[in-house]
Amino acid sequence: MNIIIFIVGVIIGSFLNLCIYRIPKGESIIYPNSYCEKCGVSIEVYNLIPVISYIFLRGKCKCCKNKISLRNPLIELLTGILFFCTYNIFGLSFNFIKYIIFISFIIVIGFIDLDTTNVYTKTTISAMIVGIIYILIEKFYFSYDVKTYIYAVLLCITIIGIIIFITKGMGSGDLDIYLVVSLFLGFKITAMTIFLSFILGSIIGILLIISKIKNRKDYISFGPFIAIASIFSILIGDKIFLFYISII
């Protein structure tokens, strides 16, 4: 089952690559078929096998011989690994399905923000709708207490809203991403995500400034930090929390 979950993740990762590339361009993620980003020629089905096709083609388009981004197979492998890890923690459960859907959304949102410094409403709204559907399922089918999601939303609006209002250091798109996190993950994991994302963002920001890759006035996309922090919070949030408690 582990291998099947990994393969499914890799295949979905291939679709996420397509979303990351097409959504900022305003293109449909369904039609047309996959094509080379350089020459525009449609890619044959047998050359669309995730990871394997990249290796077989030696990282180059069959038609124009231009290099295919190494990031494509890396995202496919990343998605497969994350699906595999999530399955090993939560098993084949309701939470597993919810978390891999969230991970798929957050990968797309995070990479698009990294590439364009923009958070696209169509991705965050779609994710929020799916999150709300899952909350309703938990409420009416499993009879779960869903107050945790309400508290998570209020936490995000309060903390991130204050930061946006006072410092202007974040954009409304960042708040949208945090709201996606809150609607999928609830109060505890959302709080952990906020905490980790700020630590991660601060560390990377300082390193970029010290290395002179960025200066203090340059904009740094925060979406990738939220994405990384949320995934870590899902997979090892409890261990991070216990470690933090042990050192204070």
Q: Cα separations (Å) of 74 from 13, 81, 166, 209, 226?
A: 9, 10, 38, 27, 19
Identify which of 40-44, 97-101, 141-145, 233-237 has the greatest average pLDDT: 97-101
Residue 143 binned pLDDT confidence (cut-offs 50, 70, 90): confident
pLDDT, tens digit (0-9, with 9 covering 90-100), for 79-111: 999 999 999 999 999 999 999 999 999 999 999
Query: Mean pLDDT, the chain, as a whole number?
Result: 89
pLDDT, tens digit (0-9, with 9 covering 90-100), for 162-174: 888 887 667 788 9
**Mean pLDDT computed over 14-27:** 93
Residue 36 binned pLDDT confidence (cut-offs 50, 70, 90): low
Q: Reply yes or no on whether the pLDDT at 220 is more than 70.
A: yes
Least confident range from 5-19, 67-81, 202-216: namely 202-216
Residue 2 tokens, joined: 């582990």
Report the distance separating Cα 117 and Cα 216, nearest Å.
Answer: 16
Report the distance separating Cα 173 and Cα 89, nearest Å.
Answer: 30
Residue type, 17: N
With b meaning 16 or more CB within 10 Å and e meaning fewer, what string describes 142-152?
A: eeeebebbebb
Provide the residue ranges of all domains of the chain, joining segments of one domain with +.
Answer: 1-92, 93-248
Q: State the pTM of this model.
A: 0.92
